[in-house]
Structure 1
Amino acid sequence: MATTYMMNNFLVSCLMFFVMIGSLSANPADIKAICGKAKNPSFCTNYMKSNPKTSGADIKTLATITLGSAKTSASGALTKFQSFATKETDPALKKGYTSCVEQYKNTISSLDEATKSLTSGDGPGLNIKVSAAMEGSTTCQDGLAKVKADPSFAKDSGDFQNICGIILVISNMM
């Protein structure tokens, strides 16, 4: 009977220890610190405030949420470029939009790889893959600037770059 009591005490103590350790690693991320290091702090602050899921999120959850936003943004851009490439009659613009379709396909592929890095807790890998995703967007924008495309693409690209910039800050904190 005493052995059972001691064993139960030991198990309860172990359980408490693991609960305490788990709660330490799930501390809310310091959004103010993250946004202070972002390329565009006001965009970051507005982005964080606009998404209620970010409030109280730990660093990995915040990275997951932000990476999801980057994927949504890139997928939306891809769809938009595919539509414009299909309908465009000007050869130079059509070539620019078609190039962007390929760039954004690569961007989405890089973001998928970034998700794998995030899942495994690989902050440096996350950083590298998100940086690669940003490169696709930048290459697209550079090409469109040469053919004087619709200016709304520049805003969309800027938002995507800002979201990815937040992920880069987070990846450096992991």
Structure 2
Amino acid sequence: MASFARFLLIATSLAIMLFINPCAAKSRPLVTYADINTICSKTDDQSFCSRVLTNPSLHPYETNLYGLAKISINLALTAAYDTQQAISPLLNQAKNYKEREAYTLCSNNYKEASASVRNANRLLAKHDYRGVRVSALSGVEEAKDCESHAKINPNSPLVQKNGDFKNYCNILWVISNRLVEYY
């Protein structure tokens, strides 16, 4: 009789835990090669996405979609910081007021872009995947605004850095869409 009471207590506790936290009821499978192919097929730069998400140093196959979103956020934050650092010398080397103003606006865009990605990280922790999606798009828009303000010289390292940041945010956007679908 004591074992039945213990079983009933454990079963009731488990049911209550799953009722209170329904996320605990869903298993979150590890990301597969097919998942990465599907994600990358929906990005603007599929080859960039594939290179990033299949990079063995990131251990993409040892995590779930949530973990993949975290990886994308960390890469986007690093790219935003690197881009911000690349803008500073350009600002100092500006030849005239108009150029200086363009790089100042671009720098402000990247401050906002970084804030958007940090917000995506906060929203991801709350499992607000729709909010993550909006924040990822906001990051892309800030990078596009930087491009339009600065009219970047095609030979500038800023072009590559800006493009990488947009690609990381685009990957995050696609992953957040999948998170919305599944969870």
Identity level (%): 22
- CA distance in 2: counterparts of 1:148 and 1:157, whole angstroms: 12
How far 1:161 moved relative to its partner? Answer: 1.1
Q: Which amino acid aligns with 1:109?
A: A
Q: Which amino acid aligns with 1:26?
A: R
Counterpart of 1:113?
119
121-130 vs 147-156, which deviates more?
147-156
- CA distance in 2: counterparts of 1:55 and 1:67, whole angstroms: 17
Q: Which residue among 74, 97, 110 is the counterpart of 2:80?
A: 74
Listed as ranges, the gaps of 5+ residues in structure 1 are none
How far 1:136 moved relative to its partner? Answer: 0.9
Listed as ranges, the gaps of 5+ residues in structure 2 are none
- CA distance in 1: counterparts of 2:83 and 2:7, whole angstroms: 57
- CA distance in 2: counterparts of 1:127 and 1:54, whole angstroms: 20
Are residues 1:173 and 2:178 paired? yes
Counterpart of 1:158?
163
Q: 1:20-62 CA deviation, whole Å, 9 max, x = no partner?
A: x858522013212211222221111110122432123101111
158-167 vs 45-54, which deviates more?
45-54
Which residues in structure 2 correspond to 1:40-51 (within 5 Å)? 40-50=45-55, 51=57
Which residues in structure 2 correspond to 1:47-66 (within 5 Å)? 47-50=52-55, 51-66=57-72
Q: Which amino acid aligns with 1:8?
A: R
* TM-score, normalization by structure 1: 0.84
CA contact (8 A) 2:120 2:135 kept: yes
Across the aligned residues of Structure 1 and Structure 2, the Cα RMSD in angstroms comes to: 2.5
Are residues 1:7 and 2:5 paired? yes
How far 1:70 moved relative to its partner? Answer: 0.4
- The aligned length equals 170
Q: Which amino acid aligns with 1:167?
A: L
Counterpart of 1:28?
30
